Amino acid sequence: MLKTVYHPQISRVKYRKGGPFITIEIYDEIDMDLAEYFVEQINDSQNTGQEVIPVTINSPGGDVYALSVMLESIENSIVPVATIVSGFAASAAVGLFAAGADGMRFIAPGGRLMIHNASMCGFGHMSLREVEIEGSELKLLNSQMFRQMGQHCMDDPDYYTNMIKAGGDHDVYLAAKDAIKHGLATHLGTPKFRTSVTVQTVMEYPDNKYQKQRLKTICGHNKANDTKFKKRKNIASDEEGDEEKHDEDDCSDNEELKTKSKNKQKGKKKRKRNSSK
């Protein structure tokens, strides 16, 4: 009974969790649960062999602390991360979008971004001192996020801080072309990805010398076959020429025999005539 045994690498390609190519989609508010999922996906993509990690973002923003976790995972990733906005990204989601690798930040022609200063909410009743502490922390996080964006996208840590101040510290909305103008996006339009899988099994000899000798023998054998083929072709053409000449000679011999027989018949007729006289 025959049994098919698959190579271990083929099994890994066929049954690998998450598939051979990992893409990450952010379609919700950024929080710690989403950050945990994001880090897991980034870590898994380090072992797939893919050349880029696409991250599609359509989010209203969210927790700055969760964003910090996500940015740290991008910073530590060996595989470059491509960020893509096909709809709308705001606040912390813009910080994630801006973390894409140089030349790998894409926005759809109809996409829009919104950036603004960090805000505080959901703390309930607080004392004045507690408000001051939270305010200081908020300023620190706000400055840290904008400086990181400015250094990465425009080589100017204060670029987006000055941009917000110029807008009166209000929300700043950017169309796709404006996002490219201000360095947040590098390409107008979204990319397409094609995945192809090739599996090849090659026999390797334990002795390198034998393997080299084997390759030389194969090459020499091929050359010898080419030479033999050429010789056979030449011999065949010569034989065809000889056969044609032989056929011509046979034809000429047959013509001579015919003429001789005709002459003999004529000579017999003359003799009969003479004898009758």
Q: In the prediction, which pLDDT does 216 show?
A: 62
118 or 176: which leads in pLDDT:
176
Q: Give the pair of three-digit tokens for residue 207.
A: 């002795």
pLDDT in the model for residue 260: 60
Q: Residues 13, 20: contact at Cβ < 8 Å? A: yes
- Residue 17 predicted with pLDDT over 90: no
Residue 18's pLDDT is 45
User: What pLDDT does 82 receive?
Assistant: 96
Q: Write the pLDDT tens digit of every residue in 85-118.
A: 999 999 999 999 999 999 999 999 999 999 988 7
Q: Alpha carbon of 34 to those of 77, 132, 149, 229: distances in Å?
A: 18, 29, 21, 69
pLDDT at residue 252 above 70?
no
Distance CA(61)–CA(170), nearest Å, equals 16
Per residue in 141-159, pLDDT (tens digit) is 787 888 999 999 999 999 9
Residues whose CB is less than 8 angstroms from the CB of residue 77 and which lie 6 or more positions away in sequence, other chains included: 42, 45, 46, 53
pLDDT at 14: 46
Residue 228 pLDDT > 60: no
Beta bridge partners of 54: 82
Helix (H) / strand (E) containing 57? strand 53-59
Cα separation, 75 vs 65, in Å, equals 15
Look at residue 254 in the predicted model and tell me its pLDDT. Answer: 57
156: Cβ contacts below 8 Å, ≥ 6 apart: 150
Question: 81-85, 198-202, 268-272 — which is least confidently predicted?
Answer: 268-272
Q: Taking the model in full, what pTM does it have?
A: 0.62
**Does residue 127 register a pLDDT over 80?**
no
Residue 121 near residue 184, CB atoms below 8 Å: no
81-85, 187-191, 195-199: least confidently modelled range: 195-199
How far is C-alpha 123 from the geometric centre of its chain's CA atoms? 48
DSSP bridge pairs for 172: 115
Coil, strand or helix: which one is 82?
strand
Q: φ, ψ for residue 229 (rounded to 5)? A: -65, -45
Which residue did the predictor score with more confidence, 42 or 4? 42
Identify which of 33, 40, 38, 36 has the alpha carbon closest to the alpha carbon of residue 17. 40
Q: Distance of alpha carbon 172 from its chain centroid, rounded?
A: 36
In tens, the pLDDT along 21-57 reads 889 999 999 999 999 999 999 999 998 888 999 999 9
The percentage of residues in the chain with a pLDDT greater than 90, rounded to a whole number, is 42
Q: Is the model more confident about 4 or about 152?
A: 152
Which among 6, 1, 3, 4 has a CA at the least distance from the CA of 201?
6
As beta bridge partners, residue 90 has: 114
Helices (H), the chain: 8-15, 32-44, 64-76, 92-97, 128-154, 159-166, 176-181, 208-276
β partners of residue 26: 57
